[in-house]
């Protein structure tokens, strides 16, 4: 595994073995191309093969290896990137046979994550995932390293790659134990923050979805449309047309037009076959979704693979134990799909379903389009952003209960908490205490039940 800089981007040939549906395979190869670019490689061509069962020793057949070697010479490629996961011995054998650097999709994704990790937690998580991946593959990786003349191969996040690669299994295991301890400490800090948020009672909305769906763009647009008062809550997040632009979790406070607030979290995106090591390493980050009151499933509606992407998101949420949390499906980038047949069909269905609903305008082909828990919108143009905020607000506060409270002056914290978390009506300062009419979440009602009059 190597890190690349733009000035010396390496040429890579993508290799894929088709074992299932052809359409899905083509989309996966296209995605692999994007991953290569995100890693700083220059993809120069693809080589594919149909195989019912991959070869034990080299994954692809002998004839294919010879063909691939010629192709790599022709294209001057220095690296072969496999779509399919390679076993440690396949990796090692392919390195020898092809006499070039070889990696699989998992290694590629680990490289991207390593390049992008910024916070302490993400760095620790990525290093731990890379070392676990490396452990059984040391010999193949040494061959990769020697092919690069002993330079440029970095397995650590601190640039001491060559040294790291020379470490034996024992050293790696020792480092993994250190990382585990550091991660436990960081996770402890995260838990403290979660508890603090919970005490404040502000609901948490977690954005999830396939990488590049537009989550960070949506967070920025919501912040721009509904600015919070604190400057730290206005800081925009990084959004870019690349896979895995975001690796670190950001939480921002949003105050909608109703005056109510919620916390919005943006985090690492999902991808098909996200490496097992990474899911494990990022589990505590991804589990943010499990603690949310509401999930925004952000989908790139203009992407032909969106059905597969939605399936991957659904499966990942199930795996994380977050499938019972209420969801709003944000069909983002609908601005790009406005004239497609599918979108028009959605719009027609929508019109048909709405017929006879009094007082609603015809929408026909315009954004946003709202169907049950789905909203077709654009985070980029902002079309649908106000409606999405309304949907979030409605979902979060639908089980709130209207009450009247008399808060004694001795409990000064209660009024403060209610102003931040309840739906406030009138407030009067009387002789016996503060009379407040408001709507409370079941949790807050439980907490302040003794003040209800
Ligand atoms: N046309 C269009 N482009 C969009 C929209 N939303 C986001 N984009 C573009 O899609 C690209 C990816 O957006 P991001 O917000 O970085 O996506 P993300 O889901 O945060 O991606 P990762 O952090 O990489 O997982 C950027 O180039 C955005 O400008 C949209 O509604 N319409
Ligand atoms: Mg992002």
Residue ranges in the chain whose pLDDT is less than 50: 1-6, 150-160, 356-365
How much is the pLDDT for 16? 94
Residue nearest to atom 30 of ligand 1 (CA): 333
User: How many Cβ atoms sit within 10 Å of the Cβ of residue 90?
Assistant: 23
**Cβ–Cβ < 8 Å for 288, 282:** no
Buried b (16+ CB within 10 A) or exposed e, 138-151: bebbbbbbebeeee
- Residue 240 CA to ligand 1 center (angstroms) comes to 6
Model-level pTM?
Answer: 0.81
**Cβ–Cβ < 8 Å for 9, 77:** no
Q: Which of 214, 244, 268, 269 to mutate to test the pocket of ligand 1 (most atoms within 8 A of CB)?
A: 214
How much is the pLDDT for 349? 72
Q: Which of 336, 453, 446 is CA-nearest to residue 399?
A: 446
How much is the pLDDT for 356? 46
Distance, in Å, from the CA atom of 148 to the CA atom of 225, rounded to the nearest integer, reads 49
- Residue 249 CA to ligand 2 center (angstroms) comes to 9
Cα distances from 418 to residues 184, 260, 315, 453, in angstroms, run: 34, 11, 37, 16
Distance, in Å, from the CA atom of 144 to the CA atom of 79, rounded to the nearest integer, reads 10
pLDDT per residue over 279-323, tens digit each?
A: 877 877 787 788 898 999 999 999 988 999 999 999 989 988 888
Give the residue extent of every domain in the chain.
6-169, 201-397, 401-451
Distance, in Å, from the CA atom of 135 to the CA atom of 172, rounded to the nearest integer, reads 7
**Cβ–Cβ < 8 Å for 114, 134:** no
How much is the pLDDT for 146? 60
Distance, in Å, from the CA atom of 292 to the CA atom of 325, rounded to the nearest integer, reads 7
How much is the pLDDT for 290? 86
User: How many Cβ atoms sit within 10 Å of the Cβ of residue 13?
Assistant: 24
- Residue 266 CA to ligand 2 center (angstroms) comes to 7
At the fourth CATH level, the homologous superfamily of domain 6-169 is GTPase HflX, N-terminal domain (3.40.50.11060)
* Residue 144 CB less than 6 A away from ligand 1: no
Give the CATH class of 201-397.
Answer: alpha beta
Tell me if domain 6-169 and domain 201-397 are identical in fold: yes
* Residue 448 CB less than 6 A away from ligand 1: no
Runs of H (alpha helix) within 14-157: 22-38, 62-75, 88-98, 105-116, 120-134, 138-147
How much is the pLDDT for 189? 83
Q: Which atom of ligand 1 lies nearest, measured to the CA of 298? A: 19
Distance, in Å, from the CA atom of 188 to the CA atom of 190, rounded to the nearest integer, reads 5
Q: Which atom of ligand 1 lies nearest, measured to the CA of 336? A: 1
């Amino acid at each position: 595994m190597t890190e690349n800089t733009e000035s010396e981007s390496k040429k890579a040939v993508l290799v894929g073995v088709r074992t299932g549906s052809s359409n899905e395979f083509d989309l996966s190869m296209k995605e692999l191309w994007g991953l290569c670019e995100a890693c700083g490689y220059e993809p120069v061509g693809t080589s594919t093969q149909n195989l019912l069962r991959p070869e034990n020793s080299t994954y692809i057949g002998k004839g294919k290896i010879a063909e691939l070697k010629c192709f790599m010479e022709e294209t001057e490629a220095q690296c072969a990137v496999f779509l399919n996961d390679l076993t440690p011995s396949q990796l090692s054998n392919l390195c020898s046979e092809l006499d070039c650097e070889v990696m699989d999709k998992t290694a590629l994704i680990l490289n991207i994550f390593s390049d992008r990790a910024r916070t302490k937690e993400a760095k620790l998580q990525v290093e731990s995932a890379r070392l676990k991946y490396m452990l059984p593959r040391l010999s193949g990786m040494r061959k990769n390293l020697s092919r690069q003349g002993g330079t440029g191969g970095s397995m650590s996040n601190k640039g001491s790659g060559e040294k790291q690669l020379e470490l034996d299994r024992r050293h790696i295991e020792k480092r993994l134990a250190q990382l585990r301890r550091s991660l436990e400490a960081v996770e402890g800090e995260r838990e403290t923050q979660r508890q603090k948020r919970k005490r404040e009672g502000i609901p948490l909305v977690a954005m999830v979805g396939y990488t590049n769906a537009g989550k960070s763009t949506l967070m920025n647009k919501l912040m721009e449309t509904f600015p919070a008062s604190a400057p730290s809550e206005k800081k925009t997040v990084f959004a870019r047309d690349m896979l895995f632009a975001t690796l670190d979790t950001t939480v921002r406070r949003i105050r909608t037009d109703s005056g109510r607030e919620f916390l919005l979290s943006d985090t690492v995106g999902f991808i098909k076959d996200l490496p097992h090591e990474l899911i494990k390493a990022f589990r505590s980050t991804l589990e943010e979704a499990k603690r949310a009151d509401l999930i925004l499933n952000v989908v790139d509606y203009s992407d032909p693979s969106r059905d597969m992407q939605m399936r991957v998101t659904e499966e990942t949420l199930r795996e994380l134990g977050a499938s019972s949390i209420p969801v709003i499906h944000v069909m983002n980038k609908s601005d790009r799909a406005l004239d497609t047949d599918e979108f028009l069909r959605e719009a027609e269905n929508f019109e048909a379903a709405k017929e006879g609903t009094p007082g609603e305008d015809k929408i026909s082909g315009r954004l946003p389009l709202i169907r049950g828990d789905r909203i077709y919108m654009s985070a980029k143009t902002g079309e649908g952003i106000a409606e999405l905020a309304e949907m979030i607000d409605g979902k979060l506060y639908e089980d709130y209960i209207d009450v009247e409270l008399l808060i004694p002056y001795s409990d000064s914290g209660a009024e403060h908490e209610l102003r931040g978390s309840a739906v406030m009506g009138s407030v009067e300062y009387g002789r016996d205490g503060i009379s407040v009419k408001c709507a409370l979440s079941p949790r807050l009602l439980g907490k302040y039940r003794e003040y209800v009059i």
